[in-house]
Structure 1
């Protein structure tokens, strides 16, 4: 059935991913081959009819720091590949806006909020593209896009270079082992310097990189690019740069081109053996040898080829598309690992064959016009309309009623798609990150990294339309794993949590626009945490007698910071504790350790003790915030043959924890943000003074042309309202981004204020009761 279905689908297109396996995985239906001399996973052409389709399929994401020109570049790509008939700008004067910014809020604010997928063709290549947001508040969109991509285009501004979010995106690409090419954009802007950007890729991102192009002119005189490998100059002609004119290299650039070509060869020699041998033999590689070497090193993630252009001025985009086809991997060249759920999650390498058993990953959910829209990456096999698929997390089977391919907010019905593609399904209920199979094999893809939210708001609707209010919040939670909703047990307020002020502001605005629910928001609440700093023993007996059988439980042990070495730990426990530590030595997770011997507490009551510990960690005694980094070690206890039960031991553990917390020198932790500020250099003094005023620590500052870039660590609690202050001291020309880094202890005076405020709040709530 799958083979016959695939024969009608060979023209489909979409996206890829990879995850490194710790053990040598089994290989299902794959053969080893070689492209340009490098061993890669490649389908055997003589055995698989869709090998040609896979070799000419590219799944790419476009990622960068905010305002680097990602959406503008995507708009040009779609126009030059014939996917759209006209070019529209972000915040365009024609009130249309860029194709990939389909949400009204995106067009108003001029930023990308949701990642958008599309597909197109370039020459004889099928290309699936995901345009991702640049703002750190929407980082989950980048995470799940990179999770399912085979390659990426990293866009950098020729003036600003590597910025804070560029570093974050680079880290995400490394997390999912995504090869990338770089595109230095905005060469038409004053101060454009591509060579400084290339140097920053090497130093700040620590990526071996070299330019494969040289710009012809810069700033107002930027005209085109010279290909260092093919020794040709490319100019864009026509009203919108649609025609590429190939000319000989300008005479005044010949010497510089020769110098930069030699620099490219030298950097390639550091990462590629064939070029290294030629370099040592003082032989010049041929163009074909250079192209093959750049591809080998890029696919192996050892090298980043750098392209140059200006998307806004319609220059250099088509040569970059050629580089995308030449240097980024096909889906069949990427190793995709799944976990065998029936064999203790043993790693299994998936085939890229469309005739193999189906395996797919639901990586993104949206509320469509016809119900839930589920984006799926097909890793193996074929996904066809009318097919029955199995959710490996829930074990439920569902029939696929409709398969579509997305073009931003538009869709095209298809009968099905093959391996290596992405598509969207209607009528399939699931969660983001669920894996699907055809039932013949039970494997699951590894999950997507979801960062913890750091900012919270209290939220309540102005009117009485609570049905729409609840419906909207449920939908937003399904779509966005970083958006959380909870109800405070005492105040009964709805609390929403997210990655930043802008993140929550967007959802409040969407409530108003999409569901006609106006909301009142409370003061932003920071995700404070509590932890213990010293070891504290506990010996607690819980007794309750009210006629008949009562409750009895005794628990003995100690409470300590989970960053401390565990006394008497087994090898597995010590290894798990070491793995849980962050780079700064902290441990975010709480740990419950059972060291009871001799049966003093029956084994069937141990899970109840752990439940009591988990419950106790949800609300600390100092400020009512959750507890992190605490380890409770249960060493001994006592049970009664009649009066002991699960409730008694859960209660005993909870009370013992609270008793120990009072003796464990508990402190309050606050989230520390990594803040990156860019402002005109003449305002450097006031900007630094503003950061110091907010109790920030400046870690780096660098003057780039007329701008200063400042890196700092600032408590999130002190960052509210900073955007207004920054605009005020920089005459509206300063901008900043921030990202959660870690939790650190608050200052003693701040802790006193927080505890006092919490106690006053509790008194007020008790009086109201």
Structure 2
């Protein structure tokens, strides 16, 4: 029977246990607490789980926690609401287990390329990686990216081929593809001698070395981590030094910085200082709390030593990439360089006629402060404050992709923010030698049914992509390879899902900056624009369906200049969606006919940002997403259009 939290607090250093939101208590035993508070530096193992999106990283981490006995079968590392809704990992998370007298810190990382910054910044915290690859899909674009980052950091790899229990699994072929990937990335010879597992993370078993080996529990993976991953390399000096790799907010302790202690030790109430990458003082603070994670719980520590990954509370200004030092020291731990952002959007105050009716955080200062805080914790995000312009943009955000930026905006709208967002723009740069404009370019591989091949090639050519190769997979499937500008790929994934009924598989890989490929027309369809303000009527919408798909339904509030649908033709069209049926004293059979409407087209935030045209904005509120013209007045829009044509 589990002891109460109060009893555990009196066992060792009076350490209370706090649970993550929604976690089920699996309290550590006495011997576990002694391991967790051991001062030996040789018992640490720091490892990250890396993979392409949806290859089973979080499922494997959850299974490892259960195998070590420190988590309940209902616990999951994906605790963020958006992570649960989308089924992907967005934020890197650190947890810890004890096994065989050792402390193993496990970092769960995102797999989507837009969150590659989350992977890059944790490489300095770990000494080895578990590379997870789906037994059906094999190595994908993000597999190459994360493995390349791990090899550049000289991290020891363990390879796990997951989902081998699927009927479509091809584990032997995938094993050869993984080895070829290591060779392509010019991995050192010692990295090629990696331990190999064939795994079913969902069912919780592995086969070591080959598919013919005997099934074992995931405890064998934990043993291999201890045997293969070296203890962390720590400084020989006694002064405390720690690199901040993550930060989060705690309901009790406020801001918490997370990182690996590189040398020395830290104790409660110590005075420490934070310096930036240039060695300039950021702030001096008192250590209020030292926390360490055990499964889904947080344990308060009296002290922490070099090699461990811990959370420290007491700072207000320290951010990711800062170095924590003991008083009198300003040494800097170099941070791993982060790949530059490729897409930017401008965010401003909502100026639409319905502004202020659905949100609680409305002004520019609130928006700026929120985004500046996010920029401190997300190293892949750049926040640039702008002067107020005609389009009312107050902040420019630069990120890895449309999903990267959309997740941030979705979190903000759930916090009560109202704002308007511009269409995404690609971050370009000048060639130092020729002065020509360069833009980010990507290698795109799309697996598709042969019947959609012609339409896809035509679509990609419209997006300034260059066809490179075609590989026949079987009698019905082909793999097409293109080089395409990043701006041409914005919104492509959603279109492929619709065009191919969800059968297409798309991979992207950043190639570098190449010469600008010319103007790209983003949306070939016109807009259906409201010319009246009020509430949409079913009678009017039924008649408007002939022009194209609508974005509104009866009862939706609209205003002049709002885009309520997509026109079948290229030109915009203005309509009246609030028109009601005239009442007469003549009764006929036709008067009682039912109104027949198609379901309106709905957008997610990443879809709508990718969809809007250059002369449009997205109005983001906690309750709705609306597309509007930048200039609401029809006469002024026509004047601007004529001046642009001259």
Residue 433 of structure 2 corresponds to residue 524 of structure 1: no
Partner of 1:325: 226
TM-score, normalised relative to structure 1: 0.56
Whichever structure has more helix as a proportion of its residues is: 1
Q: 1:749 to 1:328 in 2, by over 3 A?
A: closer
1:426 is aligned to: 313
Out of 132, 135, 141, the residue aligned to residue 155 of structure 1 is 132
CA separation in 1, counterparts of 2:128 and 2:437? 42
State how far apart, in whole Å, the 2-side matches of 1:690 and 1:368 are.
47
- Separation (CA, whole Å) in 2 of partners of 1:368 and 1:700: 51
Structure-2 residue corresponding to 1:604: none
Aligned residues of 2:71 and 2:296 also touching (Cα < 8 A): no
SS in 1 for 2:496: helix
Query: What is the CA–CA distance in structure 1 between the aligned matches of 2:49 and 2:470, rounded to whole Å?
Result: 28
CA drift of 1:467 comes to 4.4
Counterpart CA distance in 1 for 2:266 and 2:473 is: 50
Aligned to 2:568: none
Q: CA separation of 1:499/1:409 partners in 2, compared to 1, >3 Å: closer, same or farther?
A: farther
Q: 2:463, 2:520 within 8 Å by CA — same for their partners in 1?
A: no
Partner of 2:560: none
Q: Of the two, which has the highest radius of gyration?
A: 1
Aligned to 1:57: 44
CA change 1:374–1:710 in 2 (3 A) is farther
2:438 counterpart of 1:669: yes
Q: CA RMSD in A?
A: 3.3
Q: CA deviation at 1:208?
A: 10
Range 130-139 or range 360-369, more displaced: 360-369
Return the alpha-carbon distance in structure 1 between the equivalents of residues 102 and 153 of structure 2. Answer: 24
Determine helix, strand or coil for the equivalent of 2:200. coil
- In the superposition, relative to structure 1, how do residues 702 and 192 fare at CA in structure 2: closer, same or farther (>3 Å)? farther
- Which deviations, in whole Å up to 9, do the C-alpha atoms of 1:384-439 show, x marking residues without a partner? 11111132433343221111113587532111211100111122131211112224
Question: Do structure 1's residue 512 and structure 2's residue 499 form an aligned pair?
Answer: no
Please state how far the C-alpha of 1:734 moved relative to its aligned partner.
2.0
Gap change, CA 1:682 and 1:60, over 3 Å in 2: farther
Q: Deviations over 1:125-171 (max 9, x none)?
A: 21101100000111111011112101110000011111100000011
Alignment match, 2:298: 411
How far the C-alpha of 1:114 sits from its partner, in A, is 0.3
**Aligned mates of 1:121, 1:209 — CA distance in 2:** 34
Q: Deviation of residue 682 (structure 1)?
A: 6.3
Which residue of the partner structure matches residue 364 of structure 1? Answer: 246
> Structure 1 pair 506/362, CA: closer, same or farther in 2 (3 Å)?
same
Matched, 1:310 2:79: no
The answer as to 2:286 corresponding to 1:394 is no
Does the CA-based 8 Å contact 2:464-2:520 persist in structure 1?
Answer: no
What residue in structure 1 maps to residue 332 of structure 2?
Answer: 444
Distance 1:72 1:450, change over 3 A: same
How far did residue 310 of structure 1 move? 0.7
CA distance in 1, matches of 2:441, 2:185: 31
Listed as ranges, the matches of 1:200-349 within 5 Å are 200-206=177-183, 297=190, 301-316=191-206, 317-331=218-232, 334=233
SS across alignment from 1:205: helix
Q: Does 1:731 find its partner at 2:509?
A: no
Whether 1:502 aligns to 2:403 is yes
Change (3 A) 1:699 1:415: farther
CA deviations on 1:543-600 (whole Å, 9 max, x unpaired) are xxxxxxxxxxxxxxxxxx34xxxxxxxxxxxxxxxxxxxxxxxxxxxxxxxxxxxxxx
1:120-159 to 2 correspondences below 5 Å = 120-159=97-136
- Give the Cα–Cα distance (whole angstroms) in 1 for the partners of residues 169 and 67 of structure 2: 25
**Which consecutive residues of structure 1, in runs of 5 or more, have no partner in the other structure?**
1-7, 12-49, 89-98, 211-269, 272-296, 337-349, 532-560, 563-664, 752-756
- Structure 1 residue 181: Cα displacement: 0.4
The question of whether the paired residues in 2 share the 8 Å contact of 1:66 and 1:165 is answered with: yes
Contact 1:65 1:165 in 2 (8 A): yes
Question: Within 1, Cα distance between the matches of 2:449 and 2:95?
Answer: 37
Q: 1:454 touches 1:527 (CA, 8 Å); kept in 2?
A: yes
1:613-642 deviation digits (Å, cap 9, x = unpaired): xxxxxxxxxxxxxxxxxxxxxxxxxxxxxx
- 1:63-122 deviation digits (Å, cap 9, x = unpaired): 10001100000010011111112145xxxxxxxxxx211110000000000001101112
Tell whether the 8 Å contact from 2:156 to 2:228 is kept in structure 1 after alignment.
Answer: no
1:307, distance to aligned residue in structure 2 (A): 0.9
Question: Is 1:721 matched with 2:491?
Answer: yes
Query: 1:207 Cα deviation (Å)?
Result: 7.2
Structure 2 gap segments, 5+ residues each: 1-11, 16-36, 207-217, 351-355, 357-361, 522-613, 616-630, 632-638
Question: Matched residue pairs, number?
Answer: 465
Distance 1:724 1:208 in 2: 31
Q: CA deviation at 1:684?
A: 5.0
